Structures are given as structure tokens and as C-alpha cells.
């Protein structure tokens, strides 16, 4: 059983931390699998895969590795650049998927399969907290923001997955100090040093946050996740919850509200539950909800929920028997 760390030489924010990771002790060349994917091994459980294409373009690398080597993949970690309108330097961690897109209609702009959500890697919460400590110790804070992102983009994977990204402009993508921090996160997080790995899920009934609503950087979910012991599943930002306002003034029931929001919640919950066997999945709703859109179409974003949206979401969560929690419920 192995962990795959995946990097691309076409992206400095991926290649530079991968090189820093490979500069650490214990690596040996591994096999090159079809389509020019080279590999390196460290110990019995960690493999670094490197290719030359876009990081979101290489679907099913976990299955392809298993087919080529016979090694079963237990999780995937992908290294990538992050872009933001603010241009602020950042180190980010997030789950992946495009559950809000319609199969046969929408084309994912950054990989993935419409309507799909990957299994979220249980390390997301613990690694965010570890990354915050590493960045602070290395003097990257407050210049760099250390944050979660909402669930978005591909590639398609079949095992628990997370992204670690350096942002947000070319000036920072190749920053050696940021790359070294990511490499140390991988080293410590995967237990390649003297300490145990960080973020191993044991399934002892712990609580897992399923984020619903809010902006892309999930600030109100972050308020909870930065506390020790909190586990993180999918984080559905506003754009992942497209809702169509009912035409009838009184039509505010779940069945009256169209759009992909229900599918997005359902598949993200199911993926989170599968990734955390034995855990209690609790939804945390960011009350800062709807943003933009016309009178018939809206998505949950930066402003407060409209009543019909909040009611529809909470009613649907009840239908799925998903508990809605307040911050104190996660501790």
C-alpha cells in the first residue's frame, strides 16, 4: 500500500516543492509508467510521481499506478499553483471535485468529471494546521496566508485526495522558501522523519466537518478547522450550490428549488462518509450565503442566505439524515 505524491514539471509551484522533497534523504528512482510518468520511492509507502502535463489533466493516476506496478494506492497528494484575484501570497489545502456541474451539459474548466466529488483525504484538516505551524516557524506568516479552499477542479481520482498549492502569482509560485515549507509538510505529514505521520484516520466516531456555503476560502469553516482535532471533508462554497428560485412566491419547499445544489450536497456527503468510515459527518452551514445571479438563478457566496435558500438546504440535510452543527459541536 502506497501514498502517491504527484507533481508536474510544467508548473513551478509543483516542480519546486517536488524537487525540495526529493532532496531529502531516502529516495531512489522507481519505474516509469506509460505516458512518461516517472517515479521515485522513499521507504515502503511513499511514491513521488512526476509528469510534464497539467496537474488537473492526468486522470486515474492511482489506478494507472496500480495496474503498472501492482501496488495498491491508499491516497493521493497533488502539488500545484494557486491563483487568486487578490494576488496575495498563499499556501492552500483543499479537496477536489466538481459536483455542481451537469453531466453532458457542463465542461469542467479545470478537469474532473461533471457531478463528481473525490474522496476527501482525511489529512486535510491536520495538514492545514501543520502547514500553519511550519509557515509560522519559517517566517512566511504574515506574508503568506495559510488557508483552506473550497472543493473544486480535477483530476479524477479514486482514492482519498488533497491538493497543496502555492499562490498566487508567478512571483510566488517558484519561491524556494514556500517550496521548502511544502516539502517539510510532506516529510512530516507522511512520517518520513522520526515522527509519526500526521492525519491518520482511525474511525473512532470522531466528528467530520462537511462545509456548506460561504466563499471560496471558507473563513467560517476555517474558524473551526484551525482548532486541533477537527477533521474536514468536502467544502461546498457558494458556486458549488447552484439554486433556482421557485417561480411561485410560496414555492419554497425542497422539491420546488431547482438546480444542482442537491446533487452537489449528496455526492459530497457520500464521498466524505466513504473517506471517514466510522466517523460522524456533521454539516456546518456558513450563514453568509447567496451571491449574484439573476432573479431565477443564484448560488451561495458572500452575502447572507435568503430565507428560502437556508430553509431548502436545512430541509434537504434533514432528508439525508445529516446533522447540522454549530462550531462547539465539533469539539
The band of 300, judged by pLDDT with boundaries at 50, 70 and 90, is: very low
pLDDT tens digits, one per residue of 172-205? 999 999 999 999 999 999 999 888 999 999 988 8
**Which 8-state DSSP code applies to residue 38?**
E
pLDDT attached to residue 54: 95
- Do the Cβ atoms of 161 and 78 come closer than 8 Å? yes
Cis peptide before 155 (omega within 30 of 0): yes
What CATH superfamily is the domain 207-330? Answer: AF0625-like (3.40.50.10700)
3-state class percentages of the chain: helix first, strand second, coil last, to nearest 5 = 30, 25, 45
Q: How far is CA 83 from CA 77, 88, 91, 167, 168, in A?
A: 19, 9, 11, 6, 4
Whole-number mean pLDDT of the chain?
91
In angstroms, the Cα distances linking 227 to 70, 130, 151, 153, 162 are: 39, 11, 20, 27, 19
The verdict on domain 2-190 having CATH code 3.40.630.50 is yes
Query: What does the pLDDT read at residue 293?
Result: 32
Burial of 249 (0-12, 13-18, 19+ CB in 10 A): exposed
Segment 308-331 mean pLDDT: 92
Assess whether pLDDT exceeds 50 at residue 295.
no
Hey, where are the domains in the chain? 2-190, 207-330
pLDDT over 70 (residue 94):
yes
pLDDT at 303 over 90: no
Confidence class for position 250, pLDDT limits 50, 70, 90: low
pLDDT of residue 294 exceeding 50, the answer is no
Distance in Å from the first CA to the final CA of the chain: 32
Do 2-190 and 207-330 fold alike per CATH?
no
Q: Cα(238)–Cα(243) distance, rounded to whole angstroms?
A: 10
CA–CA separation, 203 vs 35, rounded Å?
Answer: 37
Q: Phi and psi of 59, rounded to 5°?
A: -75, 150
- The three cell numbers of residue 246 are 421557485
| % of the chain at pLDDT higher than 90 | 76
Q: Which of the four pLDDT bands, split at 50, 70 and 90, describes residue 215?
A: confident
pLDDT above 90: residue 288: no
Confidence check: pLDDT of 299 > 80: no
How far is it, in rounded angstroms, from Cα 145 to Cα 108? 27
Amino acid at each position: 500500500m502506497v501514498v502517491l505524491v504527484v507533481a508536474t514539471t510544467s508548473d513551478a509551484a509543483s516542480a519546486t516543492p517536488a524537487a525540495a522533497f526529493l532532496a531529502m534523504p531516502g529516495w531512489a528512482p522507481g519505474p516509469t509508467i506509460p505516458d512518461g510518468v516517472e517515479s521515485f520511492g522513499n521507504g515502503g509507502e511513499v511514491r513521488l510521481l512526476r509528469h510534464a502535463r497539467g496537474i488537473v489533466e492526468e486522470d486515474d493516476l492511482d489506478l494507472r499506478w496500480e495496474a503498472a506496478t501492482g501496488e495498491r494506492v491508499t491516497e493521493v497528494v497533488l502539488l500545484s499553483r494557486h491563483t487568486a484575484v487578490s494576488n496575495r501570497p498563499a499556501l492552500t489545502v483543499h479537496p477536489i471535485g466538481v459536483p455542481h456541474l451537469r453531466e453532458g451539459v457542463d465542461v469542467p474548466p479545470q478537469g474532473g468529471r461533471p457531478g463528481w466529488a473525490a474522496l476527501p483525504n482525511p489529512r486535510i484538516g491536520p495538514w492545514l494546521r501543520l502547514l500553519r505551524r511550519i509557515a509560522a516557524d519559517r517566517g512566511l506568516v504574515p506574508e503568506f496566508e495559510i488557508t483552506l479552499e473550497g472543493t473544486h477542479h480535477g483530476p479524477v481520482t479514486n482514492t482519498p485526495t488533497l491538493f497543496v498549492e502555492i499562490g498566487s502569482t508567478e512571483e510566488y509560485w517558484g519561491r524556494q522558501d514556500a517550496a521548502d515549507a511544502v516539502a517539510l509538510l510532506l516529510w512530516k505529514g507522511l512520517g518520513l522523519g522520526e515522527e509519526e505521520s500526521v492525519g491518520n484516520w482511525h474511525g473512532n466516531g470522531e466528528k467530520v466537518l462537511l462545509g456548506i456555503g460561504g466563499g471560496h476560502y471558507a473563513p467560517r469553516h476555517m474558524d473551526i478547522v484551525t482548532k486541533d482535532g477537527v477533521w474536514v471533508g468536502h467544502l461546498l462554497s457558494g458556486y458549488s450550490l447552484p439554486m433556482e428560485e421557485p417561480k411561485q412566491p410560496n414555492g419554497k419547499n425542497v422539491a420546488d428549488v431547482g438546480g444542482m445544489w442537491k446533487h452537489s450536497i449528496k455526492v459530497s456527503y457520500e464521498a466524505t462518509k466513504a473517506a471517514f468510515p466510522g466517523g460522524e459527518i456533521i454539516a456546518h452551514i456558513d450563514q453568509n450565503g447567496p451571491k449574484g445571479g439573476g432573479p431565477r438563478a443564484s448560488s451561495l457566496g458572500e452575502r447572507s442566505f435568503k430565507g428560502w435558500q437556508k430553509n431548502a438546504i436545512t430541509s434537504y440535510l434533514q432528508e439525508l439524515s445529516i446533522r447540522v452543527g454549530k462550531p462547539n459541536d465539533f469539539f
